[in-house]
Amino acid sequence: MTVDSVMANELPVLTEDLVMLRDTVRKFVANEIVPIEGELRRNGATGIPAEILGPIQERARRSGLWCFETPEKFGGAGMKPLALAIAYEEAAKHTYSSPDVGCGAFGYDPPNILQAGTLEQQDKYIPPAVDSGSQWFMAVTEPSGGSDPARSIQTRARRVNGDWVIDGRKMFTSRADVATHGIIFARTGEGRDGITAFIVTMPVKGMSIRKVDVIRDHHTTEVTLEGVVVPDEDVLGEVGGGFNLSQRWFNIGRIKIAAQSIGMATAALEIAIEYAKERSTFGKPLAARQTVQKKIVDSFIAIQAGRWLVYEAALRTERGENPKNVASAAKVFCTEEAFRIVDRAIQILGGMGLTREMPLEHWLRALRVLRVVEGPTEVHEMVLARALLGSAATGKA
């Protein structure tokens, strides 16, 4: 029995096609990814090696599970937000599921904001990225902060002889050292309307990259920009329109992170349930202990609630509504609760939960990172408080 089978088998929002998608991704992960991870964990691997990943990627392509979010006309699977959330949850039910669900098995979606570019930009950048399986980076956060880009972005772009010249520093820019392309957000004016997005093709003259290790298995980078020249044709969207583009990226990103967190939490709970039924202490199985039962039930309830938040955010996005507040709520609830759920699972397994024989310690570290990236919990709570309380939340009458 799985965690999902305790509730009604099919939720009302799940059409036949969505159920088929869910089951297809679930089966692919269970058959193609999970079986190879045990030995990798025991050998101290931090991901799936390229020589193993390559054949899995080919099978994902043939299964129609390549680049979930990218429209079909560019070679992707073309999933709408709800389908994307369902796929992300299922694709996260394995060890190396963060930062990328499937550990890259399903490809790397080029940034969705590229679809706001000119037709020439879309044709130039999106299909080649999908075909090659190459990666992109997004450079938003700076040493001055990342949760308030309208104020914290200090990197400057200035017009020189018809091109743009960028100077500044970016922090916590994942993939910059492995990407073929990236999008840099730089200041071209003041306030929210003074931020512009620029496409760059790697390697870039004037860009230096420093590896930054964090508590998860995958590092991030610091990027220094010194006189980086970007042609005017590689401005993405309108000059001064970068802030709105970043919000489009962040909103769907938060939905994906929330779904990803629910996937890891569900897998952790199922491990805890099986262990509780099999392990005995003082003559009784752990499953008979009320303290263990409470941990399991609390986790189950949180997963169901979190999934509905994710679905609501995804459905609002599909309807063309602004999902900002519900996406924030989903991101906060799912990452925080998933962290607690994995922690409870570790507690139920005891010493075994701390070993690399199990994926739990990997998920715990990954989720600790997800509670910060795409906006830390406290910032989302502030945004939601202002939406609920209005000017009173800022101390103004």
**Is residue 252 located within the same domain as residue 389?**
yes
| Mean per-residue pLDDT, 297-320 | 97
Considering the domain architecture, whether residues 107 and 8 belong to the same structural domain is answered as: yes
C-alpha torsion angle, residues 321, 325, 329, 331 (rounded to 10): 70
Q: State the CATH number of the domain containing residue 63.
A: 1.10.540.10
Single out the residue in 171, 205, 236 at which a domain terminates: 236
Contact 186, 155 (CB under 8 A): yes
146 shares its domain with 288: no
Q: How does residue 8 score in pLDDT terms, banded at 50, 70 and 90?
A: low
For residues 76 and 65, the answer to whether their CB atoms sit within 8 Å is: no
**31 and 169 assigned to the same domain:** no
β 220-230/163-170 pair status: antiparallel
pLDDT over threshold 70, residue 9: no
pLDDT at 237 > cutoff 80: yes
Whether 283 is in a domain gets the answer: yes
> Per the structure, how many domains does the chain have?
3
Residue where one domain finishes, among candidates 236, 268, 302? 236
Q: How far is CA 7 from CA 1, 27, 300, in A?
A: 11, 20, 10
pLDDT at 397: 60
Is 40 part of a structural domain of the chain? yes
Please, which residues have CB within 8 angstroms of residue 198's CB and are 6 or more apart in sequence? 157, 164, 166, 183, 184, 185, 186, 230, 234, 235, 236
| 32 and 153 inside one domain | no
Let me know if residue 370 belongs to a domain: yes
pLDDT tens-digit profile of 88-142? 999 999 999 999 999 999 999 999 999 999 999 999 999 999 999 999 999 999 9
310 with 338, same domain?
A: yes
Does position 148 have pLDDT exceeding 80, yes or no?
no
Q: What is the distance between the alpha carbons of residues 11 and 371, in angstroms, rounded to a whole number?
A: 27
**Same domain for 18 and 88?**
yes
- pLDDT interval class at 149 (50, 70, 90): confident
CB 60 within 8 A of CB 102: yes
pLDDT for 12 equals 78
What is the residue-averaged pLDDT of the chain? 95
Asked if residue 376 and residue 248 are part of one domain, the reply reads yes
Instruction: Pick the closest to residue 109 from 139, 133, 81 (CA basis).
Output: 133
Rounded Cα–Cα distance for residues 303 and 296 (Å): 11
pLDDT band at residue 166 under the 50/70/90 scheme: very high
CB-side neighbour CA atoms (13 Å) of 321 = 11
Is residue 179 assigned to a domain?
A: yes
In sign, the C-alpha dihedral spanning 77, 80, 86, 88 is positive
What percent of the chain is predicted at pLDDT more than 90? 90
Q: Does 10 score more than 70 pLDDT?
A: no
Contacts by residues 156-161 (CB-CB < 8 Å, ≥ 24 positions apart): 156/186, 156/187, 156/188, 157/186, 157/187, 157/188, 157/196, 157/198, 157/230, 158/188, 160/229
- Final residue of a structural domain among 212, 236, 260: 236
Mean pLDDT of the region 40-56: 94
φ, ψ of residue 302 in degrees (nearest 5): -65, -40
Check residue 74 and give its pLDDT. Answer: 97
Strands 195-201 and 181-187: antiparallel
As a whole number of angstroms, the distance between CA 315 and CA 349 comes to 37
- The mean per-residue pLDDT over the stretch 176-205 comes to 96
Residue 1: band (very low, low, confident or very high) from pLDDT cuts 50, 70, 90: low
Residue 154 pLDDT greater than 60, yes or no: yes
List pLDDT tens digits, range 314-339: 999 999 999 999 999 999 999 999 99
Residue 121 lies in a domain: no
Token couple for 308: 């509905």
Identify whether residues 231 and 248 lie together within a single domain: no
pLDDT computed for residue 152 by the predictor: 87
Confidence band of 394 (pLDDT split at 50, 70, 90): confident
Please name the helix (run of DSSP H) or strand (run of DSSP E) that holds residue 170, with its range, or none. Answer: strand 163-170
What is the sign, positive or negative, of the torsion defined by CA atoms of 166, 168, 173, 177? positive
Question: Within 13 Å, how many C-alpha atoms sit on residue 353's CB side?
Answer: 21
Examine residue 127 and state whether it is found in any structural domain, yes or no. no
pLDDT at 180 over 70: yes
| Residues 9-25: b if buried by 16+ CB within 10 A, e if exposed | eeeeebeeebeebbeeb
Mention every residue, 6+ apart, whose C-beta is less than 8 A from residue 188: 156, 157, 158, 194, 195, 196, 239, 240
**Integer Cα distance of 233 and 118 in angstroms:** 9
Which CATH number does the domain housing residue 213 bear? 2.40.110.10
Task: Report if residue 130 sits inside a domain.
Answer: no
Which of the four pLDDT bands, split at 50, 70 and 90, describes residue 385? very high
Q: pLDDT value at position 25?
A: 98
What is the domain range of residue 225? 136-236
CATH number of residue 355's parent domain: 1.20.140.10
Q: Give pLDDT tens digits for 356-383.
A: 999 999 999 999 999 999 999 999 999 9
Query: Residue range 156-172: average pLDDT?
Result: 97
Structure tokens at 80: 């709408």
Residues 388, 253 share a domain: yes
Claim to verify: residue 225 and residue 83 sit in the same structural domain: no
Buried b or exposed e, range 83-108, using 16+ CB within 10 angstroms: bbbbbbbbbbbbbbbbbbbbbbbbbb
Beta bridge partners of 138: 183
Q: Is residue 119 part of a domain?
A: no
> 7 pLDDT band (50/70/90 cuts)?
low
Do residue 294 and residue 229 come from a single domain? no
